[in-house]
């Protein structure tokens, strides 16, 4: 487990709270007048499937389920065409507190991998991409290695850059041989606002996911969630 600030919570994360594992479904940052900021969350219990809402202070620390990833990447761009190659390691582990209390079948998912993606941008408002990946040196050792991914990102040309905001949307689809090539589908839509906190961009997004869990040991578990997120970008 690793400690993160409550303000770093994001939709899809798995955290340990009140001796249970929870998946974050919704995150809303609240600043009521002159009071200190708070983070309002909606969580689903991984073990029971029940939903609950929790409010954290902005200075609170939260235990995030351990997931380690190291990445070496190479990129190339020529005009509107770009390519990305990654070589990476990923591993994840359940917390000892959860293991002792629930005694689940423990799977310390770990693997090395390489993937490549190609993308093309149409003007300043649409990007499409696709690629494939291969994993090796896996634990468990019988994981099927291949995966494919494709999607699109849309940034509306209206009302124009001078307005300081614009609608955005994205879809991403992944298929893994390990899951019989079933679809993992995610979608986001909302607005992007320029010049928030100096030079940062802020995105306010509604988010949806349907597919196998991206959270380590639970990769065989099929999940569906809706969420609301706030993201800052330089």
Same domain, 36 and 115: no
Same domain, 113 and 227: yes
Same domain, 172 and 60: no
Rounded Cα distance between 43 and 230, Å, is 16
How confident is the model over 216-231, as a mean pLDDT? 76
Same domain, 31 and 76: no
Q: Starting at the earlier edge strand, list the strands of the sheet with 146-155.
A: 66-78, 81-93, 110-122, 126-139, 146-155, 165-176, 183-196, 200-212, 222-233
Same domain, 160 and 44: no
Look at 154-158, 184-188, 213-217 and tell me which has the smallest mean pLDDT: 213-217
Number of neighbours of residue 137 by Cβ within 10 angstroms:
10
Same domain, 88 and 113: yes
Residue 34 three-state SS: coil
Q: What is the pLDDT of residues 119-172, one digit of tens each?
A: 999 988 999 999 999 999 998 899 999 999 999 999 998 888 788 899 999 999
Q: Does residue 199 contact residue 223 with C-beta atoms inside 8 Å?
A: no
pLDDT confidence bin for 47, thresholds 50/70/90: low
Q: Starting at the earlier edge strand, list the strands of the sheet with 51-57.
A: 2-5, 61-64, 14-17, 20-30, 38-45, 51-57
How confident is the model over 109-116, as a mean pLDDT? 92
Same domain, 23 and 89: no
- Which one of 19, 42, 64 terminates a domain? 64
- Which one of 30, 64, 98 terminates a domain? 64
Rounded Cα distance between 192 and 167, Å, is 6
pLDDT at 1: 55
Same domain, 123 and 152: yes
pLDDT at 116: 97
> What are the angstrom distances between the C-alpha of 157 and each of 79, 122, 162, 166, 230?
19, 11, 11, 7, 21
pLDDT at 33: 59
Domain range enclosing 150: 70-233
Q: 189: domain CATH number?
A: 2.40.160
Same domain, 50 and 77: no
How confident is the model over 22-38, as a mean pLDDT? 76
pTM here is 0.73
DSSP state of 217: G
Share of the chain above pLDDT 90, in %: 40
Q: What is the pLDDT of residues 58-111, one digit of tens each?
A: 889 998 876 666 788 899 999 999 999 999 988 876 554 454 455 555 567 889
Q: 43: domain CATH number?
A: 2.30.30.30
β-partners of residue 64 are 2, 15
199 pLDDT exceeds 70? no
pLDDT at 42: 85
pLDDT at 127: 95
Instruction: Count how many domains the chain has.
Output: 2
What's the mean pLDDT when you consider all of the chain?
84
Same domain, 139 and 168: yes
Same domain, 59 and 74: no
Same domain, 48 and 108: no
């Amino acid at each position: 487990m690793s400690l993160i600030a409550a303000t770093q919570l994001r939709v899809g994360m798995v955290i340990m709270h009140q001796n249970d594992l929870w998946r974050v479904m919704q995150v809303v940052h609240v600043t009521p007048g002159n009071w200190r900021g708070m983070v309002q969350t909606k969580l689903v219990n991984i073990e029971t499937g029940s939903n609950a809402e929790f409010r954290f202070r902005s200075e609170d620390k939260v235990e995030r389920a351990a997931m380690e990833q190291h990445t070496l990447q190479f990129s190339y761009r020529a005009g509107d065409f770009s390519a990305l190659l990654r070589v990476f390691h990923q591993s994840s582990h359940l917390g000892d507190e959860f293991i002792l209390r629930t005694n689940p079948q423990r799977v310390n998912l770990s693997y090395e991998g390489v993937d490549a993606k190609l993308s093309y941008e149409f003007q300043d408002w649409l990007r499409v991409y696709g690629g494939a990946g291969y994993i090796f040196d896996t634990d468990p050792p019988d994981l099927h290695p291949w995966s494919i991914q494709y999607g699109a990102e849309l940034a509306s040309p209206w009302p124009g850059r001078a307005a300081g905001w614009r609608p955005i949307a994205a879809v991403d689809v992944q298929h893994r041989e390990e899951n019989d090539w079933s679809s993992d589908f995610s979608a986001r839509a909302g607005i992007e606002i320029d010049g928030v906190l100096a030079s940062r961009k802020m995105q306010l997004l509604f988010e949806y996911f349907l597919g196998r869990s991206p959270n380590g040991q639970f990769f065989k578990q099929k999940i569906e969630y809706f969420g609301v997120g706030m993201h800052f970008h330089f």
